[in-house]
Amino acid sequence: MKSVKNLKNIRGKRVIVRADFNVPIEGGKILDATRIRVAVPTIDMLRKKGAKVILISHIGRDPQESLAPVARALKKYIPVTFIPDLVGAKATAAVRAMKNGDVILLENLRGNAGEKAGGKKFARSLAALGDIYVNEAFPVSHRTDASIFLLPKLLPAYAGLQLEREVKELSRVLKPKRPFLFILGGAKIETKLPILKRYLKEADHVFIGGVLANNFFKAQGHEIGVSKYDEGASVTALLKNKKLIIPHTVVVDRAGKKKTVATAEVKKTDSILDIGFPSIEMLAPIIRSAKLILWNGPMGYYEGGYVEGTEELLALLSHASGDTIIGGGDTAVLVERKKLAKKFTFVSTGGGATLDFLAKGTLAGIQALK
């Protein structure tokens, strides 16, 4: 991968920066601007070198969704003009009118069906807008979308500063220091099974929480009541793995009341919504001795107030002396919200992309840069 740092003599050059401004928005309000903030150093460096910076991104999954709120948020960091067009006449004219050091943001890439379809024609019309391509969109680099997978093949292509950082920091996990503890929670078991299987080989200990744990309790033969679990994913074959640490206490909703119980005591009408405090506490000595810890996925339904397991884990991890790497959309947002990001070695901005990178060691968009 060539680094954007090494770009020289770019005064007056049109540099297309593919960012991931897919931030959570509610009623026009940005709930977490981390993904905007992390792209700023690359953009700033390019504009200060006199390049004309053309920002492109997707937002959400609805092609009608606009990047206008992102442009407003971005203005807090750099002067940027929002162009409500993508590859049409307005965008072309706006690019032509740019002066050295200007920054524009074009409209949602997914507004054009060619983006998700990996359309060659669409990729060519994007390429026509610029001279150089920079991928600063790690969180979407697992996709083969046109702007990620095709565009870098049509222009001289470089890796953005944050993308480089993600690759460097997450690569610590690919060649781990030992003892290596992997903590996996959250939901969406189908997206987590590949990394679970990989790290049951690579890590020294694997602790299971979140909805994922319910599958394990069921496989152990316990009652899980009305708890969420993934019927399609069988984990029975994994149970005999000695590295696996399955919690023995959980917090359930029992007739509207929170109750911490042993996994063997869950009733038919209970809903398991968190890992019990004693089970998280049991992790303390392992956390203390670990040289590397990777954590993905909340321990419980924290949006609904079942926060104790996750918060206790956060507290233990924030005092760990080994390297601590956090991955996953919800997990990273949680860490930001608690203002604990500085306590960790690295907090990845990716969700699915981070899990994919950790499972495979590369991503489609990274391969396309090479």
Q: Just list the catalytic residues.
A: 35, 188, 329, 352
Helix 329-337 and helix 308-318, axial crossing angle in degrees, nearest 10: 70
Using alpha carbons, select from 182, 224, 186, 212 the residue that is nearest to residue 200. Answer: 182
- The answer to whether 151 touches 296, Cβ cutoff 8 Å, is no
Site string for ligand ADP, 249-278 (x = CB under 6 A): -----------------------xx-----
Site string for ligand ADP, 132-171 (x = CB under 6 A): ----------------------------------------
> Hey, is 14 helix, strand or coil?
strand
Complex with Mg ion: residue 13 or 143, whichever CB lies closer? 143
Q: How far apart, in whole angstroms, are the C-alpha atoms of residue 368 and residue 51?
A: 23
Site string for ligand 3PG, 10-49 (x = CB under 6 A): ----------x-x---------------------------
143 belongs to the binding site for ligand 3PG (CB under 6 A): yes
Site for ligand 3PG in 48-87 (CB under 6 A): 61
Q: How far apart, in whole angstroms, are the C-alpha atoms of residue 264 and residue 366?
A: 46
Q: Given its phi and psi angles, is residue 144 left (phi above 0), alpha (psi -120 to 50 degrees) or beta? A: alpha
139 binds, among ligand 3PG, ligand ADP, Mg ion, none (CB under 5 to 8 A by kind): ligand 3PG
Residue 99 burial by CB count (10 A; 0-12/13-18/19+): exposed, middle or buried?
exposed
CB of 189 to ligand ADP, least distance (A): 8
- The answer to whether 348 touches 328, Cβ cutoff 8 Å, is yes
Give the residue, chosen from 42, 147, 296, 324, that forms a contact with ligand ADP under the rule CB under 6 A: 296
Binding site for Mg ion (CB under 5 A): 329-330
Where along the sequence are the contacts to ligand 3PG (CB under 6 A)? 20, 22, 61, 139-140, 143, 329, 351-352
